[in-house]
Structure 1
């Protein structure tokens, strides 16, 4: 058995204070259980705090090709590659449940990532060995070319908290929420900028959202990834939309990094 598979024994630890709660954004509230069969691009980033620590779910991500995962910069910024594993094709937060585990070869957060305002919150994760696309509920997702119209409903998936200050879901969850205008989003967050590299989504009246542990996961419209779960105030609060890194805005950067690390 190879080293990556041996590491699976350490994957059955729930996300704790020292891992998932370091970045208080990213969350699925008001959603429903979904199989990876329907979201085959979804992955779990598992991270350990040191060589003697167990791997635990820390963030979500999405498969772009057999070697490339897209996620949020804050999930990997100032981290070491050897402390990550990627689990694909699994429905569960811990263990594998028939999925595939692979090691991280390279972490590439955006070079202009700004932690103080969570701007340019996008990263690529290059894995080895490659993921077996088309097998075990694993498939790549295409990048959206442009941001959909306001009101378009997108799907967000992940294993995050099911309510604010609650617990992470052991099973993969999905929720549908509509995109909102950036000016509405900026009015809600009047103390920090909503930049061109961000887009926002919110359910009318709240109650549906991404939550802690969903960070880095995909916002999908028409089978294309539109956004990456980034930040927000609380979880599913009606007055605060959730904020995503805008994938269309970063298409050129993504292409450049994929070519560089091919």
Structure 2
């Protein structure tokens, strides 16, 4: 049984890498992980709510600490992975610094029944930690209750790749601001490549700025609130293919239920 479980997890991780690497961020036709393109290196103290998720010590995705014992991430990062194999690291700027940050094991993984692995509808997950994640440069972030309009800037942070064709994620956390675009514009741009569903919103640029492989599950922050989760997109920073995010407001009921369990 242990061998079968290990093989299943390995196959899932390979699938995520292939899906995202083939065309960038995850999607119904092009799935995978996301990264920070065109951003700047920052210290974790600038984004203390940002955490990194690991399996067997290996980095897989980003996440956001919303209570001392709960992390919000993308469902495609953790769906089908047992809680016992996951670990969350907070307060660390660099992925390679083994002595930095605070590590916590995961007790439970919650994903919504509405999550669709093909379309990435409701691409959200909540991780319940075995004990509170507290320490230096670790803070929680409030869930979104803000309204926005096209042109407003959101801040995206993570350890994802800094170029679409790169073979490595960034070892230091990076951050970038991208502009929200209208749903109609996003749907028009993706009409032949993917579905922009009701749980999603889009943001891009200005210029070559985006999330990329490795940024999946990480925060999209507006007015100091967690308003989006890095989900998918075609490539990284490609013209006419904006990044696609799960809207926290549209999946808020699921998050609240998970917090109550």
**Alignment partner, residue 182 of structure 1:** 183
The normalised TM-score by structure 2 is: 0.86
Alpha-carbon offset, residue 98 of structure 1: 2.5
**Alignment partner, residue 121 of structure 1:** 123
Whole-Å separation in 2 of the counterparts to 1:244 and 1:250: 12
Structure 1, 110-119 or 22-31: larger mean CA deviation = 22-31
Within 5 Å, give how 1:17-56 maps onto structure 2: 18=14, 21-24=17-20, 25=25, 26-48=34-56, 55-56=57-58
Structure 1 residues not aligned, in runs of 5+: 1-16, 49-54
The yes-or-no answer on 1:99 pairing with 2:95 is: no
Where 2:133 maps in the other structure, the secondary structure is: coil
Within 5 Å, give how 1:1-262 maps onto structure 2: 18=14, 21-24=17-20, 25=25, 26-48=34-56, 55-132=57-134, 135-166=135-166, 167-191=168-192, 192-205=194-207, 207-260=208-261
Number of residue pairs matched by the alignment: 235
RMSD: 1.5
Alpha-carbon offset, residue 81 of structure 1: 1.0
Contact 1:42–1:61, Cα closer than 8 Å, also in 2: yes
Where 2:17 maps in the other structure, the secondary structure is: helix
Contact 1:229–1:245, Cα closer than 8 Å, also in 2: yes
Whole-Å separation in 2 of the counterparts to 1:76 and 1:147: 29
Whole-Å separation in 1 of the counterparts to 2:243 and 2:60: 19
